[in-house]
């Protein structure tokens, strides 16, 4: 529920510092090891303080203790901080100027809020006396961000700056994580005062709720009720969401599932909570989940939701979701999610690690040894009969084959980020993920342009892993300028563009529901040469593949290249993402396409009219 908290007392305690120096010192005390941001007038004092701090504390290898990574724009800085946070589990930091600098971070802030990702965005602001005067590069950050962030601070009292900064990190990482914005006027940055080295703002209500969560441990009575529901079940299924990743509860979930042989399916945000290669892993469920996962949800008699929220991409028709489940259990850190979409028979609100451990211990103490052999055989048959598949003949390069080829080299160990669209779904369907925090994608917001900057952030978080951005030709255009950021900092990020000359997912919907009227989605007349663009931005490895026969050799060279590498693959423009549960449809109406068998005769090719998205 809470990430590790740094020591309370700083080595700088008692020093006289400017407000800008206080900001940087708090970052150091919090263990921040990288900042992503773009400078400007209202934040210049803090940028100068970062420069001076790094000069003073530069290590033996002449490396900055808190490197400042400058993107092409502030939106990308926010996504870099998010990618860092998602890959590391630590709080990401974004440092931007006032006005447009701050407003350019609205989308990543909302994206982090929707996916429960901890970042702190520090914005410069016009001097306190000028607030409200429509001064140069002034924006009402508190008003704009108030409904998008977990919390927003406007610091007008410089004596509270240190405590505010420290509290921002506390709020970002604790409970259900999220983004916190700190708006700091320029005069507050220039003020000088004593650095306490400890302390935070009084938040009696918030901290009381955190204590309530911490104290609300699952005890024998609650565990006993769960035991009784599980004892009655013959086909239990765990449905794990992003809360398992954010709560660092993957090990506890895996242990429970392994000890009692309970199959697991995950949401898009929960990928990596269990090893996707395990026999009892059903991979992802939902709109573009595996057919076998969705059918297993239909067939289960006890659904156990862990850190999941029954969102519309999973439970599109709540009344028809898990229709044969006699009971549903729900474990989450956020009480607001209980019963919000789907009524449940048993629930627990609290730390997932504690709750899962308590369930496991209770079941073990009572010698619970269920026999799910028939259910396991049923799961195995579902995975065999309704296996993921695609067109393997023909001349056109299929995107699924590209992912499979890369996956042969990475073996579930790479950090994979994506943009948003068809390529995102192919990536989550055909990559293996052995661990949590290897899969980085914009889930709830579905923000195009996320993939490349998120990969840059991840490259700083996971220097021990290969980092790959799987992108689309339309999605990467949104933050194309960050190709130069990759080479500027010589990051060994691998960028793949699956080029189908358009907004592929939108075109798929237009084919299915709008009689192939490609309004605004066809980019076939655009003249972008992605390889030349990558070369212009400094990529020494920049290749294009448009023939099947070249794919294997080029992918190997791409993966083996020691520095930044760029690969464009021209794919079948008609390739679609299947399975697909259309809007207003339940899992038994899932469209599986030509290559994945469906349970019902007409489900494979159904294209009924429906409301878009």
**Same domain assignment for residues 139 and 247:** no
Which of the four pLDDT bands, split at 50, 70 and 90, describes residue 601? Answer: low
CATH code of the domain in which 292 resides: 3.40.50.1220
CATH code of the domain in which 147 resides: 3.40.50.970
The answer to whether residue 596 sits within a structural domain is no
Per-residue confidence (pLDDT) for residue 357, from 0 to 100: 98
**Each residue's pLDDT tens digit, 357-410:** 999 999 999 999 999 999 999 999 999 999 999 999 989 999 999 999 999 999
Residue 404's φ and ψ, nearest 5 degrees, are -60, -40
The answer to whether residue 289 sits within a structural domain is yes
pLDDT > 50? residue 602: no
**Same domain assignment for residues 176 and 258:** no
Per-residue confidence (pLDDT) for residue 8, from 0 to 100: 53
**Each residue's pLDDT tens digit, 442-465:** 999 999 999 999 999 999 999 999
Which of the four pLDDT bands, split at 50, 70 and 90, describes residue 583? Answer: confident
Q: Is 284 a catalytic residue?
A: no
The answer to whether residue 291 sits within a structural domain is yes
**Same domain assignment for residues 31 and 169:** yes
**Each residue's pLDDT tens digit, 485-501:** 999 999 999 999 999 99
**Same domain assignment for residues 361 and 458:** no
Q: Is 74 a catalytic residue?
A: yes
Q: Is 113 strand, coil or helix?
A: helix
CA dist 260 and 233 (Å) reads 12
**Same domain assignment for residues 238 and 205:** no
Q: Which of 147, 150, 141 is nearest to 123 (CA)?
A: 141
Residue 520's φ and ψ, nearest 5 degrees, are 75, 5
**Same domain assignment for residues 482 and 535:** yes
pLDDT > 70? residue 591: yes
What is the reported pTM?
Answer: 0.95
Is-contact 124 98, C-beta < 8 A?
A: yes
Q: Which of 212, 237, 256 is the last residue of a domain?
A: 212
**Each residue's pLDDT tens digit, 69-109:** 999 999 999 999 999 999 999 999 999 999 999 999 999 99
Cα–Cα distances (Å) from 349 to 52, 254, 306, 332, in that order, read 45, 20, 10, 5
Q: Is 30 a catalytic residue?
A: no
pLDDT > 50? residue 609: no
Q: Choosing from 90, 186, 494, 523, which is the catalytic residue?
A: 186
Separate counts of helices (H) and strands (E) for the chain: 23, 20
Q: Choosing from 1, 21, 30, 74, which is the catalytic residue?
A: 74
**Same domain assignment for residues 222 and 245:** yes
CA dist 573 and 553 (Å) reads 23
Q: Choosing from 137, 217, 225, 589, which is the catalytic residue?
A: 137
**Same domain assignment for residues 322 and 414:** no
Percent of the chain whose pLDDT exceeds 70: 96
Q: Is 422 a catalytic residue?
A: no
The answer to whether residue 579 sits within a structural domain is no
> Would you mind telling me the total number of residues written for the chain in this entry?
613
The answer to whether residue 586 sits within a structural domain is no
**Same domain assignment for residues 481 and 360:** no
The answer to whether residue 104 sits within a structural domain is yes
Q: Which of 332, 362, 385 is the last residue of a domain?
A: 385
Q: Choosing from 478, 480, 505, 580, which is the catalytic residue?
A: 505
Q: Is 88 strand, coil or helix?
A: helix
Find the helix or strand (DSSP H, E) in which 349 lies: strand 346-349
**Same domain assignment for residues 233 and 148:** no
Q: Which of 427, 393, 585, 612 is nearest to 507 (CA)?
A: 612
The answer to whether residue 252 sits within a structural domain is yes
Domain span at 322: 216-385
**Each residue's pLDDT tens digit, 191-224:** 999 999 999 999 999 999 999 999 999 999 999 9
**Same domain assignment for residues 418 and 534:** yes
**Same domain assignment for residues 49 and 127:** yes
Rg (CA), the chain: 25
Q: Is 541 a catalytic residue?
A: no
Cα torsion through 576, 577, 579, 583, rounded to 10: -100
Q: Which of 385, 409, 424 is the last residue of a domain?
A: 385
Interval 252-271 mean pLDDT: 98
CA dist 453 and 489 (Å) reads 13
**Each residue's pLDDT tens digit, 272-301:** 999 999 999 999 999 999 999 999 999 999
Per-residue confidence (pLDDT) for residue 60, from 0 to 100: 74
Number of domains composing the chain: 3
The answer to whether residue 7 sits within a structural domain is no
Q: Which of 351, 356, 353, 319 is nearest to 238 (CA)?
A: 356
């Amino acid at each position: 529920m809470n990430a590790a908290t740094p020591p309370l007392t700083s080595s700088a305690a008692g020093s006289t510092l400017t407000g800008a120096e206080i900001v940087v010192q708090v970052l150091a005390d919090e263990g921040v090891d990288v900042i992503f941001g773009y400078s400007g007038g209202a934040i210049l004092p803090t940028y100068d303080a970062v420069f001076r701090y790094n000069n003073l504390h530069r290590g033996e290898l002449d490396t900055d203790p808190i490197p400042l990574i400058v993107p092409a724009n502030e939106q990308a800085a926010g996504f870099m901080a998010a990618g860092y946070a998602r890959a590391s589990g630590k709080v990401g930091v974004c440092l931007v100027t006032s006005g447009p600098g701050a407003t350019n971070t609205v989308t990543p802030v909302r994206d982090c809020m929707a996916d429960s990702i901890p970042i702190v965005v520090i914005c410069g602001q016009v001097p306190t006396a000028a607030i409200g005067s429509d001064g140069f590069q002034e924006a009402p950050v508190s008003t704009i961000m108030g409904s998008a962030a977990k919390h927003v601070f406007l610091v007008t009292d410089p004596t509270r700056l240190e405590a505010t900064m420290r509290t921002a990190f506390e709020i970002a990482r604790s409970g259900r994580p999220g983004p916190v914005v700190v708006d700091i006027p320029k005069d507050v940055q220039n003020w000088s005062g004593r650095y306490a080295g400890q302390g935070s703002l009084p938040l009696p209500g918030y901290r009381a709720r955190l204590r309530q969560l911490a104290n609300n441990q699952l005890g024998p009575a609650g565990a006993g009720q769960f035991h009784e529901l599980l004892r009655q079940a013959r086909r239990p299924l765990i449905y794990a969401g992003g809360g398992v990743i954010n709560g660092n509860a993957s090990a506890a979930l895996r242990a429970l599932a392994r000890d009692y042989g309970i199959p697991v399916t995950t949401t898009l945000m929960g990928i990596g909570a269990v090893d996707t290669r395990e026999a009892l892993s059903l991979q992802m469920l939902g709109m573009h989940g595996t057919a076998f996962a969705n059918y297993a949800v239909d067939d289960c008699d006890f659904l156990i939701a862990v850190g999941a929220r029954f969102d519309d991409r999973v439970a599109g028709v709540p009344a028809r979701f898990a229709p044969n489940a006699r009971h549903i259990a729900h474990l989450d850190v956020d009480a607001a999610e209980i019963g919000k979409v789907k009524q449940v028979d048993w629930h627990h609100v609290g730390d997932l690690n504690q709750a899962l451990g308590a369930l496991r211990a209770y079941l073990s103490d009572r010698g619970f040894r269920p026999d799910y052999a028939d259910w396991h055989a049923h799961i195995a048959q579902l995975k065999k009969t309704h296996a993921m598949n695609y067109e393997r003949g023909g001349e056109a390069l299929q995107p699924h084959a590209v992912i499979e080829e890369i996956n042969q080299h990475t073996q579930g160990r790479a950090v994979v980020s994506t943009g948003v669209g068809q390529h995102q779904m192919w990536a989550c369907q055909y990559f293996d993920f052995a661990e949590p925090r290897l899969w980085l994608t914009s889930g709830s917001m579905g923000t195009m342009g996320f993939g490349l900057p998120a990969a840059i952030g991840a490259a700083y978080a996971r220097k021990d892993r290969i980092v790959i951005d799987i992108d689309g030709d339309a999605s990467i255009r949104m933050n194309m300028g960050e190709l130069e950021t990759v080479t500027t900092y010589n990051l060994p990020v691998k960028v793949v563009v699956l080029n189908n000359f358009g907004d592929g997912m939108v075109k798929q919907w237009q084919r299915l529901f709008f009689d192939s009227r490609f309004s605004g989605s066809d980019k076939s007349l655009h003249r972008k040469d992605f390889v030349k663009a990558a070369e212009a931005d400094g990529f020494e490895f920049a290749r294009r593949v448009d023939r099947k026969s070249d794919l294997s050799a080029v992918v190997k060279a791409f993966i083996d290249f020691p520095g930044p590498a760029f690969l464009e693959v021209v794919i079948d423009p008609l390739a679609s993402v299947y399975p697909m549960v259309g809007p207003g449809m339940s899992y038994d109406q899932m469209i599986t396409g030509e290559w994945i068998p469906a349970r019902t005769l007409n489900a494979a090719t159904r294209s009924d009219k429906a409301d878009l998205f």
